[in-house]
Structure 1
C-alpha cells in the first residue's frame, strides 16, 4: 500500500498524577485509567484498528496506550519513542512521514502542546464541522482527533488530512 486511504489518530495521554519520581515517570491517575479505557471503547466503536501505535516512552503515555488497547481489544504492542516525549509538532510530523508504506492506520499517543499542535497542523479544514469546532476549543487530557488521509506517508503535509472526529474520553 504505497498510497490510499489512511487513518491517523492523534491522542494526548490521559490524566496523570501531579507528581512522580520525575516528570517522565508520572503514572496515570485513577481518572486517567478510566478515561483511557473510555477512549479505547470510543475508538473501537469507530472501527479504528491500528497497524501501528507510536507512543511516547513516558510512563503516562505507555499506561494510556495500555488502557486504550485493552478496552479496544487490540493486541498491538506499541512502538515506544523516547523522542516523542519532548518532540515538537514538526518532529512528530516527521515521525509520521517516516512510517512504512504498509501501515494503513496509526495511533500516536503523546503530550501537549505537541499533540494539540499536530492535530491542528494536520487539519485541512474540510472535515466534520463539529469536530473542527471541538478541536478549536482545546486538547485536554484523553483528547483524540481522528483524521482520514489519502496519500503516501512521505507526502503527509500540514493541512493535508481531513478531520473526521474529535472526542475527549471521560470514563
Structure 2
C-alpha cells in the first residue's frame, strides 16, 4: 500500500479493540488480556510498516479501546507524536451510521483518521463505506469476520464532510496472525 503521506486522498483506519477479558465490573471497564496487548502492539507494527499513521484518532471511552489505541500508538512511535486523540462516550455506543456522522465532522486538515471501537460497528463500517472498487479477496475476508485487533484501511477522495455510504475503497485488511 502506498505511503499515506504521499497521497492526495484521505484514509480511514477502522480498528476493532484487541481481545479483552470476558468479565468486569461493567462492560465499559473490561481490560485487554495479555494476548490482546500483544495483538494491539502487532497491529500498530503493521500500520507502521504500511506507512499508515493517523493524525486523528476517534476512540471509544471503554477501557479496552483506550488500551488498544495506546498500544497501537506506542508501536507507531514518534510518527504519532502530533496525533490528536479524542476519547468519546459517543463512539462507545455508536452505530456505523453514527460513526459516519462523526467522521463527517472531522476538520479538513486531518488526512488519516482512526476509528477505534467495537463490533458490530467496527465490522459493519467498512462494509457500509466500501464502494466495490477494492480487491474482492480483501472484501471477502472482511465479510467473513473482523476479529479483535483487526484493522481495515479505506481510501477516498474529497473532504470528510462528503464521506458517504459506498464512498470509499477498501485498500487493506489486517488481523492478528496475518503475515506482516
What does the per-residue CA deviation read over 1:124-151, in whole Å, with 9 as the maximum and x for residues that have no partner? Answer: 1111222111111111111110011101
For residues 119 and 21 of structure 1, the distance between their equivalents in structure 2, rounded to whole angstroms, comes to 31
For residues 159 and 80 of structure 1, the distance between their equivalents in structure 2, rounded to whole angstroms, comes to 26
Asked whether the 8 Å contact 1:142–1:170 carries over to 2, the reply is no
Q: 1:46 aligns with which of 43, 50, 55?
A: 50
**Please, what is the CA RMSD of the aligned residues?**
1.2
Asked whether the 8 Å contact 1:145–1:165 carries over to 2, the reply is yes
Asked whether the 8 Å contact 2:12–2:155 carries over to 1, the reply is yes
Number of aligned positions between the proteins: 168
For residues 137 and 52 of structure 2, the distance between their equivalents in structure 1, rounded to whole angstroms, comes to 20
For residues 9 and 143 of structure 2, the distance between their equivalents in structure 1, rounded to whole angstroms, comes to 25
Partner of 1:145: 152
Normalised to the residue count of structure 1, the TM-score between the two structures is: 0.94
Asked whether the 8 Å contact 1:14–1:61 carries over to 2, the reply is yes
Other structure's SS at 2:103 match: helix
For residues 146 and 165 of structure 2, the distance between their equivalents in structure 1, rounded to whole angstroms, comes to 18
1:77 positional shift? 4.8
**1:84 pairs with 2:91:** yes
Q: List gaps (5 residues or longer) in structure 2.
A: 1-7
1:86 positional shift? 0.8
Q: List gaps (5 residues or longer) in structure 1.
A: none
Which one scores higher on RCO, CA 8 angstroms, separation ≥ 6?
1
